[in-house]
Structure 1
Protein backbone atom coordinates (compact mmCIF):
# COMPACT_ATOMS: atom_id res chain seq x y z
CA UNK A 1 0.00 0.00 0.00
CA UNK A 2 2.87 2.41 0.73
CA UNK A 3 4.34 1.73 -2.72
CA UNK A 4 0.98 2.40 -4.34
CA UNK A 5 0.51 5.61 -2.33
CA UNK A 6 3.97 6.83 -3.33
CA UNK A 7 3.31 6.12 -6.98
CA UNK A 8 0.04 8.03 -6.84
CA UNK A 9 1.91 11.12 -5.59
CA UNK A 10 4.52 10.90 -8.35
CA UNK A 11 3.81 13.18 -11.32
CA UNK A 12 2.47 10.98 -14.11
CA UNK A 13 -0.06 11.44 -16.90
CA UNK A 14 -3.49 10.47 -15.69
CA UNK A 15 -7.01 11.22 -16.80
CA UNK A 16 -8.64 10.33 -13.49
CA UNK A 17 -5.92 11.03 -10.92
CA UNK A 18 -5.60 7.35 -10.04
CA UNK A 19 -4.41 5.40 -13.08
CA UNK A 20 -1.21 6.04 -14.98
CA UNK A 21 0.53 4.54 -18.00
CA UNK A 22 2.31 1.34 -17.00
CA UNK A 23 0.11 0.65 -13.98
CA UNK A 24 -0.97 -2.97 -13.62
CA UNK A 25 -4.61 -3.28 -12.60
CA UNK A 26 -6.97 -5.97 -11.36
CA UNK A 27 -10.66 -6.03 -12.22
CA UNK A 28 -12.81 -6.15 -9.07
CA UNK A 29 -16.25 -6.75 -10.59
CA UNK A 30 -17.55 -8.93 -13.42
CA UNK A 31 -18.71 -7.31 -16.65
CA UNK A 32 -19.90 -10.03 -19.02
CA UNK A 33 -20.61 -7.52 -21.81
CA UNK A 34 -16.92 -6.57 -21.86
CA UNK A 35 -15.81 -10.12 -21.15
CA UNK A 36 -13.98 -9.00 -18.01
CA UNK A 37 -14.19 -10.83 -14.72
CA UNK A 38 -13.18 -10.35 -11.12
CA UNK A 39 -9.45 -11.08 -10.92
CA UNK A 40 -8.56 -10.30 -14.54
CA UNK A 41 -5.23 -8.47 -14.79
CA UNK A 42 -4.47 -5.69 -17.26
CA UNK A 43 -1.91 -2.94 -17.92
CA UNK A 44 -2.69 0.74 -18.50
CA UNK A 45 -1.36 2.04 -21.84
CA UNK A 46 -1.81 5.26 -23.86
CA UNK A 47 -4.95 5.33 -25.99
CA UNK A 48 -3.75 5.72 -29.59
CA UNK A 49 -7.19 6.85 -30.77
CA UNK A 50 -7.59 9.54 -28.09
CA UNK A 51 -4.40 11.54 -27.43
CA UNK A 52 -3.95 12.06 -23.70
CA UNK A 53 -6.37 9.24 -22.94
CA UNK A 54 -5.61 5.85 -21.47
CA UNK A 55 -6.87 2.34 -21.91
CA UNK A 56 -6.15 -1.03 -20.33
CA UNK A 57 -4.96 -4.04 -22.29
CA UNK A 58 -5.90 -7.59 -21.34
CA UNK A 59 -4.73 -10.91 -22.73
CA UNK A 60 -7.41 -13.58 -23.10
CA UNK A 61 -6.99 -17.35 -22.77
CA UNK A 62 -6.14 -17.64 -26.47
CA UNK A 63 -3.39 -15.03 -26.21
CA UNK A 64 -5.36 -12.30 -27.98
CA UNK A 65 -4.85 -8.76 -26.69
CA UNK A 66 -7.88 -6.53 -26.12
CA UNK A 67 -7.79 -2.82 -25.32
CA UNK A 68 -10.60 -1.19 -23.35
CA UNK A 69 -10.93 2.47 -22.40
CA UNK A 70 -10.48 3.06 -18.67
CA UNK A 71 -13.82 4.86 -18.59
CA UNK A 72 -15.58 1.65 -19.71
CA UNK A 73 -13.90 -0.65 -17.18
CA UNK A 74 -15.80 -2.06 -14.24
CA UNK A 75 -14.35 -1.31 -10.79
CA UNK A 76 -10.59 -1.90 -10.68
CA UNK A 77 -7.59 -1.40 -8.41
CA UNK A 78 -3.85 -1.12 -8.86
CA UNK A 79 -2.28 -4.57 -8.90
CA UNK A 80 1.35 -4.08 -7.92
CA UNK A 81 0.66 -6.46 -5.09
CA UNK A 82 -2.53 -8.04 -3.85
CA UNK A 83 -3.80 -10.55 -1.37
CA UNK A 84 -4.05 -14.28 -1.96
CA UNK A 85 -7.82 -13.86 -1.74
CA UNK A 86 -7.85 -11.42 -4.66
CA UNK A 87 -5.48 -13.66 -6.62
CA UNK A 88 -7.85 -16.63 -6.55
CA UNK A 89 -8.77 -17.58 -10.07
CA UNK A 90 -5.76 -15.76 -11.52
CA UNK A 91 -2.40 -17.08 -12.67
CA UNK A 92 0.91 -15.29 -12.97
CA UNK A 93 4.22 -16.40 -14.42
CA UNK A 94 6.01 -15.30 -11.26
CA UNK A 95 4.63 -15.07 -7.72
CA UNK A 96 6.21 -13.81 -4.52
CA UNK A 97 4.31 -14.96 -1.44
CA UNK A 98 5.18 -12.67 1.48
CA UNK A 99 4.42 -14.16 4.89
CA UNK A 100 3.83 -12.10 8.05
CA UNK A 101 6.71 -11.58 10.47
CA UNK A 102 4.98 -13.57 13.21
CA UNK A 103 2.76 -16.64 13.26
CA UNK A 104 -0.81 -15.58 12.51
CA UNK A 105 -4.04 -17.48 13.18
CA UNK A 106 -5.34 -16.63 9.69
CA UNK A 107 -2.26 -18.03 7.92
CA UNK A 108 -3.06 -21.64 7.02
CA UNK A 109 -1.98 -24.51 4.78
CA UNK A 110 -4.83 -23.67 2.40
CA UNK A 111 -3.81 -20.01 2.12
CA UNK A 112 -0.18 -20.93 1.37
CA UNK A 113 -1.32 -23.55 -1.16
CA UNK A 114 -3.64 -21.08 -2.90
CA UNK A 115 -0.92 -18.44 -3.10
CA UNK A 116 1.71 -20.90 -4.30
CA UNK A 117 -0.47 -22.39 -7.01
CA UNK A 118 -1.00 -18.99 -8.65
CA UNK A 119 2.58 -19.28 -9.98
CA UNK A 120 3.01 -20.75 -13.45
CA UNK A 121 6.83 -20.65 -13.68
CA UNK A 122 8.43 -19.42 -10.47
CA UNK A 123 7.53 -18.97 -6.82
CA UNK A 124 9.42 -17.12 -4.10
CA UNK A 125 8.31 -17.41 -0.48
CA UNK A 126 9.56 -14.63 1.78
CA UNK A 127 9.28 -15.31 5.48
CA UNK A 128 10.81 -17.26 8.31
CA UNK A 129 10.87 -21.06 8.29
CA UNK A 130 8.97 -20.97 11.60
CA UNK A 131 6.07 -18.96 10.15
CA UNK A 132 5.92 -21.16 7.04
CA UNK A 133 5.98 -24.35 9.15
CA UNK A 134 3.23 -23.05 11.42
CA UNK A 135 1.09 -22.18 8.39
CA UNK A 136 1.56 -25.60 6.82
CA UNK A 137 0.63 -27.29 10.10
CA UNK A 138 -2.58 -25.25 10.49
CA UNK A 139 -5.67 -26.25 8.53
CA UNK A 140 -8.36 -23.67 7.85
CA UNK A 141 -11.10 -26.27 7.74
CA UNK A 142 -14.03 -25.03 9.73
CA UNK A 143 -16.95 -27.13 10.90
CA UNK A 144 -19.99 -25.81 9.03
CA UNK A 145 -22.47 -28.57 9.79
CA UNK A 146 -23.33 -28.75 6.08
CA UNK A 147 -22.84 -32.53 5.82
CA UNK A 148 -25.10 -33.16 8.82
CA UNK A 149 -27.77 -30.81 7.51
CA UNK A 150 -27.73 -32.54 4.13
CA UNK A 151 -27.98 -35.94 5.80
CA UNK A 152 -30.99 -34.74 7.82
CA UNK A 153 -32.41 -33.11 4.68
CA UNK A 154 -32.74 -29.77 6.41
CA UNK A 155 -31.77 -27.95 3.27
CA UNK A 156 -34.42 -27.47 0.65
CA UNK A 157 -33.29 -27.57 -2.96
CA UNK A 158 -35.67 -26.47 -5.72
Structure 2
Protein backbone atom coordinates (compact mmCIF):
# COMPACT_ATOMS: atom_id res chain seq x y z
CA UNK A 1 0.00 0.00 0.00
CA UNK A 2 1.34 3.45 -0.86
CA UNK A 3 0.88 6.40 1.48
CA UNK A 4 0.93 10.00 0.30
CA UNK A 5 3.67 12.11 1.89
CA UNK A 6 1.09 14.11 3.86
CA UNK A 7 -0.18 10.95 5.60
CA UNK A 8 3.18 9.54 6.70
CA UNK A 9 2.67 10.94 10.20
CA UNK A 10 -0.31 8.58 10.63
CA UNK A 11 1.92 5.51 10.46
CA UNK A 12 2.90 3.97 13.77
CA UNK A 13 5.80 1.52 14.15
CA UNK A 14 4.88 -2.01 15.20
CA UNK A 15 7.07 -4.28 17.27
CA UNK A 16 7.12 -7.98 18.00
CA UNK A 17 8.07 -9.64 21.24
CA UNK A 18 7.56 -13.00 22.89
CA UNK A 19 4.89 -13.82 25.43
CA UNK A 20 7.65 -14.62 27.91
CA UNK A 21 9.20 -11.17 27.57
CA UNK A 22 5.80 -9.45 27.73
CA UNK A 23 4.92 -10.73 31.21
CA UNK A 24 4.12 -7.81 33.45
CA UNK A 25 3.47 -5.50 30.48
CA UNK A 26 0.32 -4.32 28.75
CA UNK A 27 -0.18 -3.28 25.13
CA UNK A 28 -3.07 -1.55 23.33
CA UNK A 29 -3.34 -4.42 20.81
CA UNK A 30 -1.93 -7.94 20.70
CA UNK A 31 -1.81 -10.40 17.80
CA UNK A 32 -1.12 -14.01 18.77
CA UNK A 33 -0.28 -16.54 16.04
CA UNK A 34 -1.07 -20.18 16.90
CA UNK A 35 0.06 -22.95 14.55
CA UNK A 36 0.41 -26.73 14.75
CA UNK A 37 4.00 -26.41 13.51
CA UNK A 38 4.87 -25.02 16.93
CA UNK A 39 2.84 -27.50 18.96
CA UNK A 40 5.22 -27.36 21.92
CA UNK A 41 4.10 -23.77 22.54
CA UNK A 42 0.38 -24.62 22.59
CA UNK A 43 -0.05 -24.34 26.33
CA UNK A 44 -3.03 -22.80 28.11
CA UNK A 45 -0.87 -20.74 30.47
CA UNK A 46 1.02 -19.15 27.54
CA UNK A 47 -2.21 -18.37 25.71
CA UNK A 48 -3.69 -16.84 28.88
CA UNK A 49 -0.60 -14.69 29.42
CA UNK A 50 -0.67 -13.51 25.79
CA UNK A 51 -4.40 -12.72 25.84
CA UNK A 52 -4.17 -10.79 29.10
CA UNK A 53 -1.43 -8.53 27.68
CA UNK A 54 -3.93 -6.86 25.31
CA UNK A 55 -5.62 -3.80 26.76
CA UNK A 56 -8.18 -3.06 24.02
CA UNK A 57 -7.72 -5.63 21.26
CA UNK A 58 -6.54 -9.25 21.08
CA UNK A 59 -6.46 -11.12 17.77
CA UNK A 60 -5.83 -14.86 17.58
CA UNK A 61 -4.56 -16.00 14.19
CA UNK A 62 -4.08 -19.65 13.41
CA UNK A 63 -5.54 -23.06 12.91
CA UNK A 64 -8.68 -24.01 14.83
CA UNK A 65 -7.00 -27.22 15.97
CA UNK A 66 -4.02 -25.31 17.40
CA UNK A 67 -6.26 -22.85 19.24
CA UNK A 68 -8.33 -25.76 20.62
CA UNK A 69 -5.24 -27.56 21.91
CA UNK A 70 -3.99 -24.38 23.59
CA UNK A 71 -7.39 -23.65 25.19
CA UNK A 72 -7.77 -27.22 26.49
CA UNK A 73 -4.22 -27.17 27.83
CA UNK A 74 -3.33 -30.26 25.82
CA UNK A 75 0.40 -29.69 26.08
CA UNK A 76 0.60 -29.14 29.84
CA UNK A 77 3.43 -30.87 31.64
CA UNK A 78 3.45 -31.42 35.38
CA UNK A 79 5.57 -28.98 37.32
CA UNK A 80 8.10 -30.60 39.58
CA UNK A 81 8.47 -28.33 42.57
CA UNK A 82 8.99 -28.92 46.26
CA UNK A 83 6.15 -26.58 47.21
CA UNK A 84 4.14 -29.28 49.02
CA UNK A 85 7.21 -30.31 51.05
CA UNK A 86 8.08 -26.70 51.90
CA UNK A 87 4.53 -25.95 53.04
CA UNK A 88 4.47 -29.09 55.20
CA UNK A 89 7.42 -27.87 57.29
TM-score, normalised by the number of residues in structure 1: 0.42
Q: Secondary structure at the match of 2:71?
A: helix
Q: State the partner residue of 2:17.
A: 82
Q: State the partner residue of 2:67.
A: 132
CA RMSD of aligned residues (A): 2.5
1:121 aligns with 2:48: no
| Of 37, 45, 49, the match for 1:110 | 45
Structure 2: which 5+ residue stretches go unaligned? 1-12
User: Which protein is bigger by CA-based radius of gyration?
Assistant: 1
Deviation of 1:141 after TM superposition, in Å, equals: 5.4
User: 1 CA distance for matches of 2:58 and 2:21?
Assistant: 17
Runs of 4+ in 1 over 6 A off after TM superposition: none
User: 2 CA distance for matches of 1:88 and 1:149?
Assistant: 28
1:142 aligns with 2:78: yes
Q: State the partner residue of 1:100.
A: 35
- Cα deviation 1:46-102 (Å, max 9, x = unaligned): xxxxxxxxxxxxxxxxxxxxxxxxxxxxxxxxx710110011111011110111343
Q: Which of the two has greater helix per residue?
A: 2
Q: Which of the two has greater strand per residue?
A: 1
Equivalenced residues, count: 78
Q: State the partner residue of 2:3.
A: none
Structure of greater relative contact order (alpha carbons < 8 Å, 6+ residues apart):
2
User: 2 CA distance for matches of 1:92 and 1:143?
Assistant: 29
Q: State the partner residue of 1:52.
A: none
